[in-house]
Structure 1
Amino acid sequence: MGSEGGSIVRKPRFLCLHGFRTSGEIMKIQLNRWPKAVIDRLDLVFLDAPFPCRGKSDVDGIFDPPYYEWFQFDKEFTEYENFENCLEYLEDRMIKLGPFDGLIGFSQGGILSGGLPGLQAKGIALQKVPKIKFIIIIGGAMLRSTKVVEDAYSYSIDTPSLHFLGETDFLKPYGIKLIESFKNPVVVHHPKGHTVPRIDEKSLVKVTAFLETIENLVMMEEDDKDAEENISTPI
């Protein structure tokens, strides 16, 4: 439901990008920690990253394999391998599975999601798919490759965004920098570390308000499309 109480034409559709050396199925399990009232308002599509993991997964023994990674990087996280291939893969899957309204990303998927609106706006990535309209980032951070940073964050990102920031997350300092690159970000703080957190009652207020905002934007977009079709349809 929108904030005016009217019924939503359709649920906002999100492509979900999982964490480093996990999988789409694992992220689906992780997001099921969220209240059903939240999950049921979104149309979620879970995607596996393009590359089988090249090392041990941190979730080995917790979640079943297979595990995947979006791209590879050095110890400083400043040099990337297969990043362009990752972008091409994402665009291809978004064409085949979309269209999508937004992205939900956790960990490496959150890092990738946070950089994509800027890369798309600069004409670097996702030129064959509609504009990313919404972003939800869990345990994310800024990309740190010098070239990518210049393209992804050269302008303040005006995409409506919801960020989950863990108090003991090792990525927290970099997550704060990412949040600062967005205009009017909505931030949910939680006491945990690098994880998909449960949503408590206090956080639920912020999450619900964000969902109402994007639902209303989707509704307005659908109304505009209907109006255009009515104008173009001969009597």
Structure 2
Amino acid sequence: MLGYSYPCFQTGLRLTTAMAPEIHLKPKNPRILCLHGFRTSGRILQAGIGKWPDTILRDLDLDFLDAPFPATGKSDVERFFDPPYYEWYQANKGFKEYRNFEECLAYIEDYMIKNGPFDGLLGFSQGAFLTAAIPGMQEQGSALTKVPKVKFLVIISGAKIPGLMFGEPKAAVNAFSSPVRCPSLHFIGERDFLKIEGEVLVESFVEPVVIHHSGGHIIPKLDTKAEETMLSFFQSIRQMLSDESGSVRSLM
């Protein structure tokens, strides 16, 4: 251990790190960038996540970002939420050809540079597709290379791109070529039209944590078991962040 010294103003003595009392800092709240679903908004995602118990939300620092492109068609949430609505990128009807995929990644990176750093990502639906692919794209050096690597993910109604239903954006071509070692929490709905795609996605991650719920393509309410699973997941994340912070301090 390096023997840096600290001034003791009361006595004029100097205390080495070996003499200084041990200080236990409260683990910081994970800072999470949240990516909403197709033709919705950050405000709409915030409303859905806001229904989770305070036991979960009080220890998270959540930032809800609007996608860069106005919705190019009808939104499925028009009956429940007022506009504006946004989308991260566009695809043809077969979901095989993409437009503005690289542009949306640059937009996210720019936001992270200006407002970060962020520890993790949370995504729903189209936002979850991006969330799931970003660690692999960072590892491959094809996207978000100007910001620190994402340390954990929360994926709600996600899928792989490319996957069973979806084509292959150039930037994401190798996103899942190797097992994804980024800690991840996945929500899969029994009546979600992306259920199978979500299950396939889980197989690409090392030691994923999975919460199954009875609903469809939604942000689910949490029963007691799901709440306990989330609390345990974020406890491990806070410990990981605390350990990393301690390692950095020991090198200073």
Identity %: 51
Name the one with the larger helix percent: 1
Aligned to 2:173, what secondary structure does the other structure show? helix
Bigger-Rg structure (1/2)? 2
Encode CA deviations 1:141-176: one digit per residue, 9 max, x unaligned.
Answer: 111223455311100000000000000000111111
Name the aligned partner's letter for residue 47 of structure 1. L
Aligned to 2:148, what secondary structure does the other structure show? coil
Q: Structure 2 residue aligned with 1:168, among 191, 194, 200?
A: 191
Q: Do the aligned partners of residues 127 and 100 (structure 1) sit closer, same or farther apart at CA in structure 2, a change above 3 Å counting?
A: same
Aligned to 2:107, what secondary structure does the other structure show? helix
TM-score (norm 1): 0.92
Match of 2:226 in 1: 203
Match of 1:186 in 2: 209
Q: Structure 2 residue aligned with 1:124, among 129, 139, 142?
A: 142
Match of 1:154 in 2: 177
Asked if the contact 1:102–1:132 (Cα under 8 Å) also holds between the matched residues in 2, the reply is yes
Equivalent pairs, count: 224
After TM superposition, the structure 1 = structure 2 runs for residues 35-184 of structure 1, keeping only pairs within 5 Å, are: 35-144=53-162, 145-146=167-168, 147-148=170-171, 150-184=173-207
Name the aligned partner's letter for residue 87 of structure 1. L
Asked if the contact 1:8–1:216 (Cα under 8 Å) also holds between the matched residues in 2, the reply is no
Encode CA deviations 1:199-219: one digit per residue, 9 max, x unaligned.
Answer: 110111211110111000011
TM-score (norm 2): 0.86
Gaps of 5+ in 1: 1-5, 230-235
Counterparts of 2:94 and 2:179 in 1: how far apart (Å)?
Answer: 25
Which 10-residue stretch deviates more, 179-188 or 140-149?
140-149
Q: CA RMSD in A?
A: 1.2
Aligned to 1:152, what secondary structure does the other structure show? coil
Matched, 1:213 2:231: no
Encode CA deviations 1:32-86: one digit per residue, 9 max, x unaligned.
Answer: 1110110111110110000000001000120111000000011221211000101
Asked if the contact 1:9–1:222 (Cα under 8 Å) also holds between the matched residues in 2, the reply is no
Aligned to 1:165, what secondary structure does the other structure show? strand
Counterparts of 2:148 and 2:226 in 1: how far apart (Å)?
Answer: 30
Moved over 4 A (4+): none
Counterparts of 1:125 and 1:34 in 2: how far apart (Å)?
Answer: 31
Gaps of 5+ in 2: 1-23
Asked if the contact 2:142–2:171 (Cα under 8 Å) also holds between the matched residues in 1, the reply is no
Aligned to 1:37, what secondary structure does the other structure show? helix
Counterparts of 2:190 and 2:25 in 1: how far apart (Å)?
Answer: 36
Name the aligned partner's letter for residue 16 of structure 1. C
